[in-house]
Structures are given as C-alpha cells and as structure tokens.
Amino acid sequence: MTRQTVLVVAAHPDDEVLGCGGTMAAHVARGDEVHVLILAQGLASRGPAEEAAFQALRAAAREAGEALGVTSLTLLDFPDNRLDGVELLDLVKVVEEQVARHRPEVVYTHFAQDLNVDHRVTHNAVVTACRPQPEHCVRTILCFEVPSSTEWSGHAFVANWFVDIGPHLEKKKAALAAYAGEMRPFPHPRSIEGACHLAAWRGASAGVAAAEAFVLFRQRVI
Ligand SMILES: [Zn+2]
C-alpha cells in the first residue's frame, strides 16, 4: 500500500475534526502523512478580553491534532467570519505554500455551498490553489460536511465518497472532546452526540457502522 500525503484545509479550529477527523485518523493508521492548515482565528472578535479564549482555542486545536496523530498543524490568524473581506489571492498564496511544502496527493476542504461564509471562501481558495496545471501534485480534492453549516445552507450535499471510520470513531470523539468549548449540547448538530449520529447515518448509507461522507470535487486517475 503506497503511503500518501494529505492536506486538510479548514476555515476554523474544530471544522477539521468535525469534517474529517475520523478520516485523518484512518490516514495516520495506514502510515500516511496528514498536514492540517486552519486559516481563521476561530473567534469573532479579538481584543485583550478574548486573548485567553484565543489561546485556549489554539491549545484545543493542538490537543485535537495530537489525539488524531497529525503530522503537522498550521494555525493562521485571518479574521473570523470575515474571510470574504480578505483578498482571495492572500488565502490562495498560503494554501499554495502548504501544497508546495508538503506535495499532497489528496486535499480535504469545505463544501462550496456551506452556510458559513468562511467555509465558502476557504473552498474557493483551495480549488484555486489546486487548479490542475500540468504536473500538479494534487490528484484528489474532497469536500467534507460541517454540522450546523453544511446542512443549514439550503443546498444539497450529495455525498459520493465515504470513508469507514468505525475503527477511528473513538479518536474522533477524543479530538472533539478537546474542542469541548466549541461543542454545544445535543440536539445541536455541533455536539459530540450529533457527530456520532451523523457518523452512524453516513455509515449506514455506505454499509458500515460509522463513516464520514464527502463530495468529490475532482479526481485525476493515473
Ligand atoms: Zn467553521
């Protein structure tokens, strides 16, 4: 089995785990390199009062990354819920830098039509940075779903790619537990219980006990 290098590009700390935490753990288990890039701060405002919360969120991201065994985690500082005010080129550049550094074959990112504007902008930055020029390393781009943004958008997320995360669900739950401050009580979809229900449903849709679902944006074969 050939080892792969994968890159996960998320807008906010916690999106990466909600969207593809089990898949990241599955990659790690098969010996793949998993690099994570998070673009925005994760807090809507940032003054002296929020500094402690900001540092706690970054610590949670590192703890979640350790729980999943990721190879590297890069936390950037773009403004939360205002990525649409950032020049797209600036976001494209940071994604391109990560792609050039790690040479991933697979990239995971947000769904193009999420409710959250930062998610949509992140998707645009990724597919721009990974446009299929000759010799480009990225063969596969997969879009994940983030509870309370993808299903609330009014746009259909028609999953056509499923990753069996049954053996890795506990790691995903541990990574979500690191983000306890970002989770909400069930029945909010952004809850550990909600994430488990989604994993069970996506699993049932694919004939396994637990799965993460994706929309394939593009795949180049051979
Ligand atoms: Zn988000």
> How far does the centroid of ligand 1 lie from the alpha carbon of residue 80, in Å?
9
Give residue-wise pLDDT tens across range 67-92: 999 999 999 999 999 999 999 999 99
Residue 181: CB atoms within 10 Å: 10
> How far does the centroid of ligand 1 lie from the alpha carbon of residue 221, in Å?
30
Those residues whose C-beta lies under 8 Å from the C-beta of residue 197, and which sit 6 or more positions away, are none
> How far does the centroid of ligand 1 lie from the alpha carbon of residue 12, in Å?
5
pLDDT at 222 over 80: no
pTM exceeds cut of 0.85: yes
What order of strands is seen across the sheet that includes strand 33-40?
72-78, 33-40, 5-10, 106-110, 140-144, 211-219, 161-164
Residues with CB under 5 A from ligand 1 (ion): 11-12, 15
The Cα 39–Cα 116 span in angstroms is 14
Give residue-wise pLDDT tens across range 87-117: 999 999 999 999 999 999 999 999 999 999 9
What is the per-residue pLDDT for 98?
A: 98
